[in-house]
Amino acid sequence: MATGGRNELSRARDDDDARATREIELATLARDDDDDGDGGGDAPARDRREADAGRAWLGTTAACAFAVATCYADRSNISTAIVAMKDGFGWDKFEEGLVLSAFFYGYGATQIVGGRWADRAGGKTTLGWGVAAWSAATALTPAAARAGIAPLIAMRVILGMGEGLAFPACHALIAREVPREKRSTAVAAVTAASYAGAAFAFAVTPGLVSEFGWPSAFYSFGAIALLWAPFWFALPDHREPRGVDDEIEDAETRRFIAESSATATKPPASFAIWTELIRRKEVRAICVAQFTQSWGMYGLLSWLPTYFNEAQGVDLADLPAFTFAPYILQGVLGFGVGIIADDLIHNKNVRVKTVRRAAQCAGTLGPALCLLVAASPLAEGNATLAAVAVDLGLALSALTLAGVSVSHLDIAPRHAGMVFATGNTAATLAGALAVPVSGAILDASDSWSLVFAVIAFVYVSGAIYWYVNLGDRELTLDADARDALYP
């Protein structure tokens, strides 16, 4: 009986493989016919489709960038507003840390689910729902804060759940709609927008708080989505014409799912794919790199206004001069490094691994060195030197946009949303830990130097792990069939 079952399973797999092979052959023939130029009247239509695709990816990238800027503005304004809020509510540093970190628990909860949703249903709907959720949560934050710290934490969790859909949706859209040679540029543009959003929040929030009170920051930022929504939902749905590569990837995915579902436990297909992906050292390298760089990013982003206000004696109204510049520098450098990375890889024939390795290591070791300067006695009581060190460190961290931020598109383009969501979950865990841990360090030691030293150590650890384990070739799940066809 068991032998018969195994034979049936073997025959079923053979049938699946035969169907997949036939699909690949048909796709290859279709591609060859198309390449022969015998399409007659279809050639102009194909040219028009390619031209439309070239324009469409720019519109999609711009809309995603604006959404991500809004996302980061809505999450960042509390870092400045809390300077005024803590006095009114009587919070200590640990309670401040709880409020600031609550966002990350919601953010992490929707990462992998959002990535799979975006991969299956498309990023447009996923991102639309995310923007609606986080904008509503932002506008309701003052009411939640007045109700108590528990309702405020709950509202921050809801905010995080909405924002957790943003990057998986954007990266799924980029993987499907952006030409391969433009993906580093698109990822850099969208991620650079996050810095622009944070910069906007740090520039505008102090003035709003000083003139109209801290609730105004949340009301006004929550309304920004009204500017974005009409353009987003008017954006035409577009997908690149499917070619042999897509058909091969689908065939391999179906084959893998069939084999996975034949086990005794029969896990869901999405879980089976995720389990296979997370076993790969290249995916784990993304997770570790995301965790370590985000420990520094979120640790600085959340506590920077408090640091300059308390440690350097900067007034609330003067905070933009010290907290605005880092994110502008990040945005400029981040967008530029994406263009340079694409040029090096596709025009200068520099190996993908070399570009990703150099960008990520420079984007983590550079900030580590700068933070050690900020933690040194030289920066004590010297707000200008501290600002220069922190600004330069945060600017250099934008180099990672040509490193880990695009690596998932190199190794698993068919499952970009899922891989990115997995890495971003690790990044979210870092934020959930870094913010309250920094608060606890401050409560226990009152030492900002110790906080910065811990961040620097985490940066260095992540750079070493990335250097050793990163990948630049598509993983087996995506590339087995292609390798068989083109040995």
Do residues 404 and 289 lie in contact, with contact meaning Cβ atoms separated by under 8 Å?
yes
Q: Which of 119-128, 290-299, 356-365 has the lowest mean pLDDT?
A: 119-128
pLDDT for 261 equals: 39
Please tell me the distance from the alpha carbon of residue 476 to that of residue 164, in angstroms, as a whole number.
Answer: 28
DSSP label at residue 413:
G
Contacts of 175 (CB under 8 A, 6+ apart): 183, 409, 413, 414, 416, 417
For the segment 297-311, the average pLDDT, to the nearest whole number, is 84
Instruction: Locate all alpha helices (DSSP H) within 164-280, ordered by sequence.
Output: 166-177, 183-212, 215-222, 225-234, 244-261, 269-278
Do residues 387 and 322 lie in contact, with contact meaning Cβ atoms separated by under 8 Å?
yes
Q: What Cα–Cα distance (Å) separates residue 322 from each residue in 82, 315, 378? A: 17, 11, 18
Tokens standing for residue 460? 């260095």
Tokens standing for residue 354? 């070399």
pLDDT for 368 equals: 95
Instruction: Locate all alpha helices (DSSP H) within 238-351, ordered by sequence.
Output: 244-261, 269-278, 281-306, 320-323, 325-346
- pLDDT band for 44, please (50, 70, 90 cuts): low
Reduced to 3 states (helix: H, G, I; strand: E, B; else coil), residue 350 is coil
**Environment class of 136 (CB within 10 Å of its CB; exposed 0-12, middle 13-18, buried 19+):** middle
pLDDT at 356 exceeding the cut of 80 = yes
Please tell me the distance from the alpha carbon of residue 283 to that of residue 463, in angstroms, as a whole number.
Answer: 15
The predicted-structure confidence for 66-124, as pLDDT tens digits, reads as follows 999 999 999 999 999 998 998 889 888 888 989 999 998 898 888 778 877 887 777 88
pLDDT for 46 equals: 52
Do residues 198 and 87 lie in contact, with contact meaning Cβ atoms separated by under 8 Å?
no
pLDDT at 212 exceeding the cut of 70 = yes
56-485, superfamily in CATH? MFS general substrate transporter like domains (1.20.1250.20)
User: What is the overall mean pLDDT for the chain?
Assistant: 79
The predicted-structure confidence for 383-409, as pLDDT tens digits, reads as follows 889 889 988 998 899 899 889 988 888
**Environment class of 376 (CB within 10 Å of its CB; exposed 0-12, middle 13-18, buried 19+):** middle
| Among candidate residues 225, 197, 270, 296, the one with its CA nearest the CA of residue 417 | 270
pLDDT at 21 exceeding the cut of 60 = no
pLDDT at 455 exceeding the cut of 50 = yes
pTM given for the model: 0.67
Q: How many residues are there in the chain?
A: 487
For the segment 462-470, the average pLDDT, to the nearest whole number, is 95
Q: What Cα–Cα distance (Å) separates residue 203 from each residue in 207, 305, 318? A: 8, 11, 10
| Among candidate residues 80, 149, 165, the one with its CA nearest the CA of residue 425 | 165
Contacts of 456 (CB under 8 A, 6+ apart): 296, 367, 368, 369, 371, 372, 375
**How many C-beta atoms surround the C-beta of residue 481 within 10 A?**
24
**How many C-beta atoms surround the C-beta of residue 309 within 10 A?**
18
Tokens standing for residue 390? 């922190």
Residue 148, phi then psi, degrees to nearest 5: 135, 170
Please tell me the distance from the alpha carbon of residue 473 to that of residue 385, in angstroms, as a whole number.
Answer: 42
DSSP label at residue 90:
T
**CA-CA-CA-CA torsion for 373, 377, 379, 380, nearest 10 degrees?**
150
Please tell me the distance from the alpha carbon of residue 432 to that of residue 420, in angstroms, as a whole number.
Answer: 18
- pLDDT band for 50, please (50, 70, 90 cuts): low
| Among candidate residues 81, 228, 70, the one with its CA nearest the CA of residue 141 | 81
Reduced to 3 states (helix: H, G, I; strand: E, B; else coil), residue 407 is helix
| Among candidate residues 306, 403, 408, 307, the one with its CA nearest the CA of residue 364 | 403
**11 vs 343 pLDDT, higher one:** 343
Give the rounded percent of residues in the chain with a pLDDT score beyond 70.
79
Residue 412, phi then psi, degrees to nearest 5: -155, 65
Please tell me the distance from the alpha carbon of residue 218 to that of residue 467, in angstroms, as a whole number.
Answer: 41
Buried b (16+ CB within 10 A) or exposed e, 338-371: bebbbebbeeeeeebeebbbbbbbbbbbbbbebb
Please tell me the distance from the alpha carbon of residue 153 to that of residue 236, in angstroms, as a whole number.
Answer: 37
DSSP label at residue 240:
P
Q: Mark residue 267 as left, alpha or beta (left: phi above 0; alpha: psi -120 to 50; beta: remaining).
A: beta
Which residue type sits at 351?
A: R
Instruction: Locate all alpha helices (DSSP H) within 347-403, ordered by sequence.
Output: 352-375, 383-397
